[in-house]
Amino acid sequence: MSAELLVVRCGLVSYDEALVAQRWLSDARRDGSIPDVMLLLEHPPVYTRGRRSNPEELPMATEWYGLQGIEVRDTDRGGQVTYHGPGQLVAYPIVDLAPYGDDVHEYVRRLEQVAIRSLADYGVEVGTIEGLTGVWTEGERPGTAAGPLEARKIGSIGVHISRGITTHGLAINVSNDLKPFEWIVPCGIEGCQVTSLSRETGEDQNLGAFATTLADHFTDVYDRAPVATSPDALGLDNARLGVA
């Protein structure tokens, strides 16, 4: 029988609160007090800088971004700068890698498959590009072609592993505003084009429905049995989510 995966829909959660929650859940997963967990949520507008980010990826001053209503946060995940905002689905799996041979690369490859299969259900064919993170629409490698011939990024992946437990994860642009991506250098690639599920299909898409699709594929790809759980049932109340 497949091991349980607690699937928790959290709604709109600040990036700082989500970090606190992930750290607490990671400790709980490590000591065996909870099974694997996946948080599904949205963030208010925020740019996050991964461990490989450099200052040129945020060409404006932090104060300028603040005037646009977008926070800037440093984080311990892999990858470079990206944007999160309402309408983008963020999935944070807190997973013990031991059943997967502690193979980080295999874990990330499966995350890519979750994104690829979920988007395919909506008729959007995407894939990966060697040397680049995330998932991309069909097209030429970014930076080698102009206009519609170039692949567009629709999903970002950035993970952190601590003592065999994962945090951070996957973000898919569903129906979010794409303008904030134009004010940064996404993935460290000049001129990188970004898209969303709504833009690719030509109609507004429901984030909740897409979250269900993604959760189904995650449990299939990782051979887990999904159990819908509320934040309160996991102890993720306001006191625990609050930043000290």
Query: Tens digits of per-residue pLDDT, 120-152?
Result: 999 999 999 998 889 999 998 887 666 678 899
Clarify whether 187 is annotated catalytic.
yes
Tens digits of residue pLDDT in 88-104: 999 999 999 999 999 99
Which helix or strand (DSSP H or E) is residue 44 part of?
Answer: none
Which of 40, 42, 47 lies closest to 118, judged by CA? 40
What does the pLDDT read at residue 131? 87
Tens digits of residue pLDDT in 5-49: 999 999 999 999 999 999 999 999 999 999 999 999 999 999 988
User: Average of pLDDT values for 52-69?
Assistant: 83
**Catalytic site residue from 70, 72, 171, 187:** 187
Length of the chain: 244
What does the pLDDT read at residue 1? 45
157 SS3 class: strand
Query: Any idea which fold 3-241 has?
Result: BirA Bifunctional Protein; domain 2 (3.30.930)
Longest Cα–Cα distance of the chain, Å, equals 52
Report residue 239's pLDDT band, with 50, 70 and 90 as the boundaries: very low
State the CB neighbour count (10 A cutoff) for residue 32. 8
Asked whether the predicted pLDDT for residue 242 surpasses 50, the reply is no
What does the pLDDT read at residue 53? 67
What does the pLDDT read at residue 81? 84
Percentage of the chain beyond pLDDT 70 is 90
Q: Show me where the domains of the chain are located.
A: 3-241
Tens digits of residue pLDDT in 194-221: 999 999 999 999 999 999 999 999 999 9
